[in-house]
Amino acid sequence: MNEELCDSVSSPAPDTALQLTRSSSIGDYEESSGIDGGEEEERMINLSDLNPYILCSICKGYFIDATTITECLHTFCKSCIVRHFYYTNRCPKCNIVVHQTQPLYNIRLDRQLQDIVYKLVENLEEEEKKKMCDFYRQRGLEVPKPATPQPICTGRGRSRKLLGPVFRIPPELDVSLLLEFMGAAEGTGSFKPLEKKFVRVSGDATIGHVEKFLRRKMELNTACQVDIICGDHLLEHYQTLREILAALGDSAIQDGLLVLHFGLVLSQLSLL
């Protein structure tokens, strides 16, 4: 936790007063939360004073499954930050590049911070647990067991108990694609926008595979042909991504991503 968290979070939380001892040091992640008091001098503080440290700047609610970016130590709800990384590889707060291609590599569940939030905010833990159980029960699924935290050292030299990586990406998916849509020619019909333009694939995949992927995601009709280009090269179906990378080198790469542009044109067959 750090001072940068103080910026621009709104405070929808109730202004509940609670007691913390002067030694309690949420900002420094010391072992004793101090909430139990003991001999030390006590003072009252408002829960709202702590909001900058326990509210997610994405959803403006209290952290749920607090998840911290290891590169800048900014924290968000797990679901909020995972969704954010669908669209960008940068931190929502400080805008640093979290990871060139796979920002999910560099986030960790932050059990210690989540424990603090649950201690500070009455009933939040119970409500969340209940919501989670209901979610799984309604779907007839087994409720997953919580994981055990392991200490890791952060870049700032402090040891914090963070869980292991939230996601692991299979090593065979070694190429990260950025698929940029250029537009559609007249007569190619309706299509859905491509929701997720960052894709992790094997270098053995061909342009044919990429086209299939685009056809499925955008629900393209048969009259529609997908032209895929890299730089100013029109790519052929049989070319693998590895070959394209080898042939075009750095000129094809931007921020660690292989950038492919694609456009929709009328199929040659449909013109016959």
Q: Give the binding site for Zn ion (CB under 5 A).
A: 56, 58-59, 72, 74, 77, 80, 91, 93-94
Q: How far apart are CA 66 and CA 228, in angstroms?
A: 40
Structure token pair of residue 39:
């001999």
Tell me the closest approach of the beta carbon of residue 4 to Zn ion, in angstroms.
7
Instruction: Report strand pairing: 107-109 vs 66-69.
Output: antiparallel
Tell me the closest approach of the beta carbon of residue 51 to Zn ion, in angstroms.
13
Closest CB to Zn ion among residues 123, 148: 123
Instruction: Report strand pairing: 175-184 vs 257-266.
Output: parallel
Closest CB to Zn ion among residues 57, 188: 57
Closest CB to Zn ion among residues 102, 188: 102
- Is residue 244 packed enough to be buried (19+ CB in 10 Å), middle (13-18) or exposed (0-12)? buried
CB 46 within 8 A of CB 16: yes
Tell me the closest approach of the beta carbon of residue 168 to Zn ion, in angstroms.
22
Q: Which of 111, 115, 104 is nearest to 165 (CA)?
A: 104
Q: How far apart are CA 131 and CA 126, in angstroms?
A: 9
Tell me the closest approach of the beta carbon of residue 57 to Zn ion, in angstroms.
8
Tell me the closest approach of the beta carbon of residue 205 to Zn ion, in angstroms.
32
Structure token pair of residue 152:
């890791």
Closest CB to Zn ion among residues 79, 202: 79
Closest CB to Zn ion among residues 59, 223: 59
